[in-house]
Amino acid sequence: MSTPRRLLARLRELMARGAAPLPELVRLVAAEFVCEVCSIYVMRPGDLLELAATEGLLLSAVGQTRLRVGEGIVGLAAATHAPLNLPDAQNHPAFAYRPETGEEKYASMLAVPVRRAGRTLGVLAVQNRAPRRYDADEVEVLETVAMLLAEILSVAGSVVADPEGLAATLPRRFGGTHLADGLAIGPAVVTGPARGPLRLLAEDPAAEQARLEAAVASMQRGIDTLIAGGLPQGEGADSAASREILDAYRMVAAGTGWLQRVADAIRGGLSAEAAVHRVAGDLRERMRRVTDPYLRERLADLEDMVGRLLDALDGAAARPPVPPGGILLTRRLGPAELLDWHGRGIAGAVIEEGSAASHATILARALGIPVLGGARGVVEAASPDDLVVLDADEDQVILRPEQEVLQVYARDLAVRNERRAGWAQLRDRPAATRDGTRVRLMLNIGLAMELGQLEATGAEGIGLFRTEIAMLAHGGMLDVAEQAAIYARVLDAAGDRPVLFRTLDLGGDKLLPGGAVPEEENPAMGWRSLRIGLDRPALMRRQLRALLLAAGGRDLSVMFPMVATVAEFRAATALLRAEAAKMRPAPGRLAVGTMLEIPALMWQLPALLAEADFISVGTNDLLQFLFAADRGTPALAGRYDLLSPPVLALLADLAAQCAASGVPLSVCGEHASRPLDALAMIGLGITSLSMPASFVLPMKAMLGGLDLGLLRAFLAQLRATAGGSPSLREPLAAWAREHDVAI
């Protein structure tokens, strides 16, 4: 019998006797395959491959050696789902040396992934001292062994069992989406779903209804107190900011009439707690099925409200204190709950079902709490007090980090804290380069509660006030008086500093509940923003009237988004000036500008610059339209760069034409807050940038170390020699490091 047939026959005999012990299996393969090493790596939670059995490597490495998927030859085989046949593995670029295994004396390696039903369960590897490439028959045999091994690993979890609880102590890394920037290190604070009702049935419906009404009143008083005392200080008008969030939070109850349905369930014989659970469960399922992304986000508000109402019903004891620097891990999070946790001292949050549209995310940004969303499985994997590294900037969270990893992040956090302490003294210092060029740094905000950041950062104004955010938070369109009250508070807080109000930028990924959702294959390029306003002029007139009313005779700057043609800009401007003509008192100075997001405007600049009072670049949309790359498509993330020759050429041309026409130019897109991108734009002559508040002081620090003359000379030379390079990011970053510019 040939060696391959004999090996497979002996494997079948081994399996016929029951669950095959892995040590016996590797000994058998090593003997029959005539190899000096045979090892089995088993997939553990967190995409870790752990050495589970070996013949030939040091046995002390079993259970100790671990590789991430994609790390080393073994990890690469798991990541690519394909065998790796290497005559000299140690000189392969992916090789990862693990001294505890004693594998340095082995040259050749054949690593085969162990897969079943589309899942990678582990990797089977053989090694020899002599450099050699395993032949096709040997590869086929080892793949067959791997197939049999997959059956062994999948049978009742016999091999991947973790009798010593090792999986609960291994590091685990989860990817996600940063919702609020920052870094935090601390113990895990794990929350679960609302508890079930202790009592299902009740004999006295009237008494249960009275309990419900008292609990609702208590809950709402608690929310009022929480919001009034839990928001950032210096926000202008605490009561106004509280009302915005409270209205949004109460929208779930008021909009669905769910408390009436709870009352109906109580009349049917349920206790108040059981009725709340039943109705909330029905609403939860309905909300999961809706396609409107904003409405789906209100599920977190519902969960928050249910938990608070149940606490009020049964008089739950106060929650235990949060350990210092605690990181909240939860599936969903409502706004009031976030404020509660913030007041109790959490340093960050990981929300499995969180998104940029949620109320909690809006609050987190204002509170300066790092938040990561989309990290599925983290709540189930974590135990209370597990150490957590939350790196929202790099879109990841690490449970139980290795000591070396923890030390790296701890040093990074210490540097950040030291740097932040140094930034505080820059608040009152003008933003200027080392050689004296002033740069105007302004804020992007959308809620009144963020207005305090004007004083906290020393920003020179508001370069983008997103008027749609208050309506998204409210859950519906606001009337003229309600809008005017918000805009007036913004102007009051800004004082003499400029404010650029962007008209409603709805559509695409920003939808109001209850509004008709057009069926579009690509909503980002569809019926949105100014297009909606021009097609629904009554809607636009109401907002323009509110802006003029809020100005009350003061200067007013209005900016239109998603302008594709000069004709659209003229039509929108005509609506604004018609409303202004009827307003008493009229605004002191009415400035009308446009966002430049659609590249078509670049070929209409002379006509546009003759009519626009200012232009502001929205880099996110500009890049996606320029490169035909939907910014919401993960496969295209990072594929196209603002620091590429075509984008830099566009921005340079725009800056030159605006300067020649005397029309102010600013950038308010996301890239304005990225130091290296901002560096390039300043070098091109764009000296007005608008960004989230947390980036203003770091940007001032960066500017203070910049010699603009040197930068412009280097950037001109770099662009002249760029050729067909996809990006100039690396050489520009190298220049910045060489000249000690803090990027």
Q: Whose structure tokens read 């725009």?
A: 654
**DSSP letters along 97-137, please?**
--GGGTGGG--EEEEEEEEETTEEEEEEEEEESS-----HH
Query: Whose CA is closest to 329, among 377, 286, 296, 361?
Result: 377
Give the helix, strand, coil percentages of the chain, each rounded to 5: 50, 15, 35
Crossing angle of helices 238-256 and 335-343, rounded to 10°: 140
DSSP for residue 45? T
737 touches 465 (CB < 8 A): no
Question: Residue 535 and residue 109: Cα distance in Å, rounded?
Answer: 66
Query: Whose CA is closest to 491, among 533, 445, 439?
Result: 445
CA distances from 133 to 8, 110, 130, 303 (A): 22, 8, 10, 58
Question: Residue 46 and residue 377: Cα distance in Å, rounded?
Answer: 9
CA angle, corner 198, sides to 312 and 285, nearest 5? 80
Question: Residue 109 and residue 724: Cα distance in Å, rounded?
Answer: 40
DSSP for residue 88? S
496 touches 510 (CB < 8 A): no
497 touches 461 (CB < 8 A): yes
For 253-337, list the strands marked E by DSSP: 327-330
DSSP for residue 644? S
CA distances from 577 to 243, 329, 524, 548, 587 (A): 32, 50, 29, 10, 11
530 touches 560 (CB < 8 A): yes
- Dihedral angle computed from the Cα positions of residues 296, 299, 301 and 305, in that order, rounded to the nearest 10 degrees: 160
654 SS3 class: helix
For 36-99, list the strands marked E by DSSP: 37-44, 48-55, 66-68, 84-86
Half-sphere exposure of 583 toward its Cβ, with a 13 Å CA cutoff?
25
- Name the region of 552 (left: φ>0; alpha: ψ -120 to 50; beta: rest): left
Residue 212 structure tokens: 């419900």
Element at 709 (helix H, strand E): helix 708-720
Residues paired with residue 185 on neighbouring β-strands, in sequence order = 389
Question: Residue 635 and residue 41: Cα distance in Å, rounded?
Answer: 30
Query: Whose CA is closest to 457, among 424, 491, 413, 489?
Result: 424
Query: Whose CA is closest to 56, among 120, 105, 19?
Result: 105
| Strand order, beta sheet including 37-44 | 66-68, 48-55, 37-44, 119-128, 108-116, 84-86
Three-class SS string for 512-548? Answer: CCCCCCCCCCCHHHCCCCHHHHHHCHHHHHHHHHHHH
Residues catalogued as catalytic:
359, 668
151 touches 136 (CB < 8 A): no
Residues paired with residue 350 on neighbouring β-strands, in sequence order = 329, 372
